Structure 1
Amino acid sequence: MISKKFTGILAATLLMGTILAACGGKETTKTSSEGNKEKEKPSYTFRLADNQPPDYPTVLGDKKFAELVEERTEGRIKIEVYPSAQLGDEKSVLEQVQLGAIEFTRINSSPLAEFNNQFTPLGLPYVFESEDHLWNFLNGDMGTKLLDGLEQSKMKGLAYYDSGSRSFYSTKPLKGVEDLEGQKIRVQQSKINIDFMAALGASATPMPYGEVFSALQTGIIDGAENNLPSLDSSNHYQEAKNLILDHHQRIPEVLLISKVAWDKLDADDQKIIKQAALDSVETQRAEWDKYEERSEKKLKDAGVTFTEVKDIKPWTEAVKSMNAEYAKEFKEVMDAIEEARP
């Protein structure tokens, strides 16, 4: 009869073997021409989680990153991309990244403010006047500092990906800022977004993204806000056919690696991983531009009314005092945002 103690030891051994197999850090040896054995660098198979579908620009960026890493390490480091939230939702994936159970993820920068509050100002309305303004900031010293500041939370930021700009859409007409008065607008759960709606005279209605379509159908909300590809892919445009392009937020995505996985790599491999992430941005941004163009055509063909905001001043005036309050707490970041203005 097998003892309980032996069974426990066997189970623990099998579990450890599974963990090691997942990490994939296997060292091999090779024999030189003189017949001496030389130690080769370890090989790894890592996982990268993304909650978007396979053809989404962030996933295409993920795949380019994985391709560059495999190519530059001659197949020694492989990164398997798992789209469509196959490895879990953003919150559970982040927890696993911190533990090292998942090595990489791509996530919107908004939730990262929970781990490094210096990300908070990136979500303030109208702080970035254009795409160029945003990328001047992200590619500057403060953008790098924000990514590095995640290390205290057992993560390391590698690069920023594009997420376009967010605008309002509604079942009711939207011709100017005054039309948002009294409308029930779905927002992500955050103090900034709730304060933002109050500043515009709208009623903030936080709810999970997956509930927005039915809430538009039933009149629980009048509208929501997001980028064009999301308005398209979510089918929200079938109910909310009024879009006003105020571009109130330009919140980037972030490609992350677990600090546990990062610390296993030697300096050369760390450099390869970091550079591959930065080099994948060009592909991701190009794919985003194409995706956004397709979405715009689809939405217009479906009868969505597009209204361009020609004078942004009434919008920025509405949030001026709100942004000033946040600026007191995040002066260094806000100063860097101002300096990045084209």
Structure 2
Amino acid sequence: MPSIVAQRFPHCLSSVRRILTLLAVLFTVCSCTPQNDGSQVLHLAHGMPADHPVNKAMEMMDTRLQELSGGTMRIEIYANGQLGSERDLLELLQIGSLAMTKVSASPLESFVPTYKIFSIPYVFRDHDHFWQMLESPLGRDLLVSSEPVLLRGLGYYDAGSRSFYTNKPINTPDDLKGMKIRVQKSVTSVEMVKRLGGAATPIAWAELYTALQQGVVDGAENNIPSFYLSKHYEVSPYLSLDEHTYVPDVLLIGLPVWNSLSPQQQEWLQQAADDSIAYQRELWALKTQESLEALQAKGIEVITPDKELFREKVLPMHRAYDNTPLGELMDAIQNLP
């Protein structure tokens, strides 16, 4: 079976580890399980801990789905990466072995190139502009643009903005010169740090604390709650709120499972997802404020630099997309009323 899947879907089962993960899940989880009473259980997996705003929002989505469906549908959630990495979960959705997941928009770039828009720095002016785009036809069209690769977006969860945290103050791009900055495994992220004068160093998240502690890298970039909850502030006492990118989390359902639902079931699920998104945004805003206050209480120096200085440095990245679909999308985002 794995070899057939691999032939049909080029993004699936790219390593022995993924094949083993897939086989294990196939024998333990069905994506959409009919119950004896005629109800259905949708299985959802993701990598966040149980107390994360995303997981709490998913629990609320389950409650709402049960209410809307009169108890005929519910969601069973597997948190903490129990069923594999984000890439693993996307592949399981594609073949119908898992119903739903949440992933950062960044890994979706390799499935749908348009998602690269979120990795390009300073596309969005601020948080309000970012959500204006997500809730516009542009954002809604992007959610369904992944259907050709058997993934359908149900909505976006807030993951805040990404900023630099380092072992020395970053007030201007010049302060990044010569610094080794950890980034995700993203070509766009690497280019951004290079444009700003730093040396981009992709490192796994699980290894980052030690890398910061031992001086393998001089800093990293992420949202405020992640910086706080990871305790990276213990080895990186400066947070510069340059807010270079806004990368949302995307709530997805596999197209095989979505197409197996009736129109009424699809409507219930979409409404439950929409309600969970509104709830998650509230939780995220609260968690961000709490995390920032906790960081300041621990003596972390929080810097608010002139973002225009950073934006000017990366404008060549914007111009590189002129006369391309991504460039057209960027222009449309800038022209939102």
**1:208-227 matches, cutoff 5 A:** 208-227=204-223
Superposition RMSD on alpha carbons, in Å?
A: 1.8
Contact 2:157–2:281, Cα closer than 8 Å, also in 1: yes
1:315 aligns with 2:304: no
Gaps of 5+ in 2: 1-25
Q: Which has the larger radius of gyration?
A: 1
Under a length normalisation based on structure 1, what TM-score does the superposition of the two structures give? 0.87
Q: Which residue of 2 aligns with 1:272?
A: 268
Distance 1:327 1:137, change over 3 A: farther
Q: Specify which of 32, 42, 63 is matched with residue 23 of structure 1.
A: 32
Distance 1:327 1:279, change over 3 A: farther
Residue identity opposite 2:318 in structure 1: N
Residue identity opposite 1:103 in structure 2: A
**1:102-117 matches, cutoff 5 A:** 102-117=98-113
Q: How far apart, CA to CA, are the structure 2 residues paired with 1:304 and 1:20?
A: 44
Q: How far apart, CA to CA, are the structure 2 residues paired with 1:180 and 1:107?
A: 29
Q: Secondary structure at the match of 2:164?
A: strand
Residue identity opposite 1:210 in structure 2: A
Q: How far apart, CA to CA, are the structure 1 residues paired with 2:243 and 2:332?
A: 20
1:178 aligns with 2:174: yes
Q: Which residue of 1 aligns with 2:193?
A: 197
Contact 2:32–2:42, Cα closer than 8 Å, also in 1: yes
Contact 1:51–1:89, Cα closer than 8 Å, also in 2: yes
Q: Which residue of 1 aligns with 2:226?
A: 230
1:332 positional shift: 2.9
Distance 1:21 1:103, change over 3 A: closer
Distance 1:252 1:21, change over 3 A: closer
1:238 positional shift: 0.4
Q: Specify which of 65, 76, 79 is matched with residue 80 of structure 1.
A: 76
Distance 1:301 1:43, change over 3 A: same
Distance 1:18 1:226, change over 3 A: closer
Residue identity opposite 1:212 in structure 2: L
Contact 1:116–1:146, Cα closer than 8 Å, also in 2: no
Contact 2:122–2:244, Cα closer than 8 Å, also in 1: yes
Contact 2:164–2:220, Cα closer than 8 Å, also in 1: yes
1:122 positional shift: 1.6
Q: Which residue of 1 aligns with 2:295?
A: 299
Contact 2:35–2:41, Cα closer than 8 Å, also in 1: no
Q: Which residue of 1 aligns with 2:254?
A: 258
How many correspondences in the alignment?
A: 312
**Structure 1 moving runs of 4+ over 2 Å:** 17-23, 25-28, 326-329
1:196 positional shift: 0.4
Q: Secondary structure at the match of 2:153?
A: strand
Distance 1:223 1:18, change over 3 A: closer
